[in-house]
Amino acid sequence: EGQQLSEEIRLNQVGFYPDGPKKAIVPGKARGNFYITTSDFADTLYTGKLGEELKSVHSSKTTREANFSQLKATGTYVVAVPGLGHSYPFEIKQDAYQDVAKASIKAFYYQRVSTALKPEHAGKWSRLAGHPDNKVLVHASAASKSRPAGTVISSTKGWYDAGDYNKYIVNSGITTATMLSVYEDFPEYFKTMKLQIPESNNALPDLLDETLWNLRWMLTMQDPGDGGVYHKLTTPQFEGMNVKPAEARQPRYVVKKSTAAALDFAAVMAQASRVFKKYEQELPGFSDSCLVAAKSAWKWAGKNPAVLYNQDEMNKSFDPDVSTGAYGDKDVSDEFDWAAAELYLTTKDESYYKAIKAIPHKNMELPSWGQVRLLGYYSLARLQNELTPVAKKDFPKLKTALVAFADKLAAASQNNAYKVPMGSAASDFVWGSNAVAANQGIALVQAYRLTKDKKYLNNALANLDYLLGRNATGYSFLTGYGDKTPKYPHHRLSVSDEVEEPVPGLLVGGPNPGQQDGCTYPTKIADESYTDEECSYASNEIAINWNAPLVYLASALEALKQE
Ligand code: 9MR
C-alpha cells in the first residue's frame, strides 16, 4: 500500500540527522498509522501513529504530524501513509545540511559583479564578465563639492543584489554582516570548507574570500571627501529579464547619500575590521582601513542623522529618474544602535556604547534589511567575554531579552499546522518571507548559544525543515536542493543564460499574499501564496539578504550538531 507519490506529504526533502528530530506533515484527513520504508518499499523500518489534527491559522486546512525521530539508522527512505501514498525519498545521514550550507555560500560567487565566471568554478553557469563598474557616474542627487554631478568614479565588484543587477548598500549591510557573523560564531567550521572559487587556494577561509568581494565594493561607496556613503549603485531602470551581464549597456550611477547607508556601512566595516584583524599578513592594512571608513561614516551620520532615502522626492529634483529598488527605511534609530554596538565592540571605546539608546530596546524585532538592532545584540552576545564594565552590567538584561524573544518563536511552533516557528503570525508572510524563517532560525541559534538548551536548536532546525519542504506549498525553496524546487526564479542571471536549470543554491522569496507583481498565483491564502514563475518578483525572486540567513542557519546547525 502507499506506492504512489503524494506531494501532500510534506517534509524536509534534503534529509535529517540520525540523532535529530524528524517530522513529516500530512493532511488532516489521513489517520491511523504511518510507515517509514526503504525507498523500494521492501522493508518497513518504523511504524508510527499520526498525531492529533492541527488547524492552520491561514486557511481551513488541517494537518497531522508523522513523527519518526526515533528512527536513527542512516539510509534512504520514504514516509508511507495508507490511503495517501508515499513521500519523496529522503536521507537520514550525518552532515545532512553540509551541501546546503556550501551551496548557499557558493551562490554568492554566482552573484559576483565585474568578473567572468570560469567553467572550473561555475561549471555550466560560467559566464562572461559584465558590469565592470569602473566608470560609474555620480548622480545629481549625490553631488558633492569634490565630486560634482557627472564625476566618473570606479566602484567595481560586489554582489548583484537579487534578480536584478544593481548594488544597494542598505541590503548589502545586513547581508555582509550575516556572513561575517556566521564566521565569527563558528570560525572552526569554515576553516576547511572549500567552495571551488578563484581564491580557494589562498590562506583565507573561502567564506571570507567570498565576503571580501562585496566588502571591497562597499568601501568604494564612501565619498572620501566627507565620509558619506551612497545609497546604491544602479541603472536608472531595471534591465530586461533577458539581458546578460556582458550585454548590459545602461549607464550606472551612484545615487544619493543616506543616513541608513552610512550607518549600515559603519556597522559592517567595524565588524570587518575585527574579523580581518587576524589576516594582517594576507591583507596588510585592510583591517585598519575598514575601521577608518567605519568611523568616518559614523561621523557623517552624526552630522546628517535624518537623510532618509525617498526615491519619489528625489526624482522631483534630479535627473535622470531612478526607478530601481529603494530600500527606503523610514526609521534609522536601529541603524544607529547597530553601528554603535559594532564600533564599540571593535574599539572598546565606551563612548560608542553610550550612544546606544537602550539595552535592551523595548521593541525587539526580527532582523531584516530595515530592522537591524538585533544584529548589534547578537554581536554583544558573541563577544560577551570582552565587554567593558558598562556593557557587562547591562548584559544579563540583554541575554534575558534575547532568550525571551526566542521563547516566543519556540512556543509558536507548538500550535502551528507545520510545527515550525515560521508562519504562526500572518505578518510572517511578507515579501521575502523565507528570510523571516531563516532569521528566526538565527535568533533561535543565538538563544541556544546563550543557554545550551536544545529546544532552541530543534526549533531552528524546524525552520530549516520549513524552507526545505515542510510547508504549505510543498516546495523546497532552495534552487537545486530537494525534489520539488523552484525552476523559474525571477533572476536575470538564470533567465538570460542558456542553461535550463537555474543557478543553484539560491533561496527564493517565498509565500507573499501581497502579490505585488500581478502574476497569477494559485491562491490568496498567506502561507500558500507562492508561484514558481519568472514574472513573480514578489514571491519567486532571489536576493542576497535572503540567502545570507540561510547560510547562517545551515552552517550553524552543521557546526553545532556534535553538541
Ligand atoms: O526585499 C525587499 C522587500 O522587503 C520590499 O518590500 C520590496 C519592495 O520595495 O523590495 C525588496 O527588495 C528588492 C529591491 O528593492 C530590488 N532588488 C530586488 C529586491 C528583492 O525583491
**227 and 322 assigned to the same domain:** yes
Q: At what angle do helices 98-110 and 206-220 cross, to 10 degrees?
A: 30
Assigned domain for 445 exists: yes
Q: What is the ipTM of this complex?
A: 0.99
Ligand 1 in reach of 441 Cβ (< 6 A): no
C-alpha separations of 244 from 130, 131, 260, 502 in Å: 8, 10, 31, 14
Q: Are residues 226 and 348 in the same domain?
A: yes
Distance of CA 60 to the CA centre of its chain: 31
- The Cα–Cα gap between 402 and 280 comes to 33
- End-to-end alpha-carbon separation of the chain, Å? 39
For the CA of 516, the closest atom of ligand 1 is: 8
CA of 543 to the centre of ligand 1 (A): 8
Q: Name the catalytic one among 361, 490, 517, 533.
A: 490
Bridge partners of residue 10, in order along the sequence: 25
Alpha carbons 93 and 82: distance in angstroms, whole number: 26
**Domain with 128 in it: what CATH number?**
1.50.10.10
Q: Is there a single domain that holds both residue 71 and residue 199? A: no
Q: Is residue 450 part of a domain?
A: yes
Asked if residue 537 has its Cβ within 6 Å of ligand 1, the reply is: yes
110 plus 238 within the same structural domain = yes
Q: Do residue 82 and residue 184 come from a single domain?
A: no
**202 and 60, same structural domain?**
no
Work out which ligand 1 atom sits closest to the CA atom of 370.
4
| Pocket lining: 541 vs ligand 1, CB cutoff 6 Å | yes
Q: Are residues 34 and 119 in the same domain?
A: no
Q: Which residue among 113, 161, 547 has the greatest number of ligand 1 atoms within 8 angstroms of its CB, and so is best to mutate?
A: 161
Answer yes or no: 386 catalytic: no
CB distance 371 to 365 below 8 Å: yes
Among residues 92, 110, 141, the one where a domain terminates is: 92
325 lines ligand 1 (CB under 6 A): yes
Mutate to test the pocket of ligand 1, among 159, 164, 365 (most ligand atoms within 8 A of CB): 164
Report whether residue 514 contacts ligand 1, using a CB cutoff of 6 Å. Answer: no
Spans of the chain below 50 pLDDT: 1-2
Q: Which residue has the least CA distance to atom 5 on ligand 1?
A: 431
pLDDT score at 425: 87
* pTM across the whole model: 0.98
**CA dist., res. 433 & res. 221, Å (int):** 29
Q: Is residue 526 part of a domain?
A: no
- Tell how far the Cα of 272 is from the centroid of ligand 1, in angstroms: 25
Q: Mark whether 103 and 87 lie in a shared domain.
A: no
Answer whether 542's CB lies under 8 Å from 163's CB: yes
Identify the residue whose C-alpha is closest to ligand 1 atom 16. 325
Q: Which residue bears the cell 553610550? A: 354
Q: Using the mean position of ligand 1's atoms as its centre, give its distance from the Cα of residue 535 in Å.
A: 14
Residue nearest atom 14 in ligand 1 by C-alpha distance: 325
State the residue for C-alpha cell 534575558: 400
Which atom of ligand 1 is least distant from the CA of 514?
A: 6
Q: Which domain does 39 fall in, by range? A: 23-92
Provide the domain count of the chain. 2
With a 6 Å cutoff on the Cβ, whether 162 touches ligand 1 is yes
Q: Give the residue, by CA position, lying nearest to ligand 1 atom 8.
A: 325
| pLDDT at residue number 397 | 98
Cα of 311 to ligand 1 centre, how many Å?
Answer: 14
Instruction: Name the domain boundary from 67, 92, 117.
Output: 92
Cα separations (Å) of 344 from 153, 381, 450, 498, 507? 32, 13, 21, 48, 33
C-alpha span between 521 and 519 (Å, rounded): 6
Does one domain contain both 79 and 201? no
Active site residue 517: no
Q: What angle do CA 533, 537, 540 make, to 5 degrees?
A: 50
Residues 6+ apart with CB under 8 A from 325: 161, 162, 164, 166, 168, 171, 232, 234
Of the candidates 42, 68, 92, which is a domain's last residue? 92
Q: 365 catalytic, yes or no?
A: no
Report whether 333 contacts 249 (CB < 8 A): no
pLDDT of the residue at 313: 98
Residue 46: which CATH number?
2.60.40.10
Residue of 160, 169, 171, 371 to mutate, ligand 1, most atoms within 8 A of C-beta: 171
The residue whose CA is least distant from atom 2 of ligand 1 is: 431
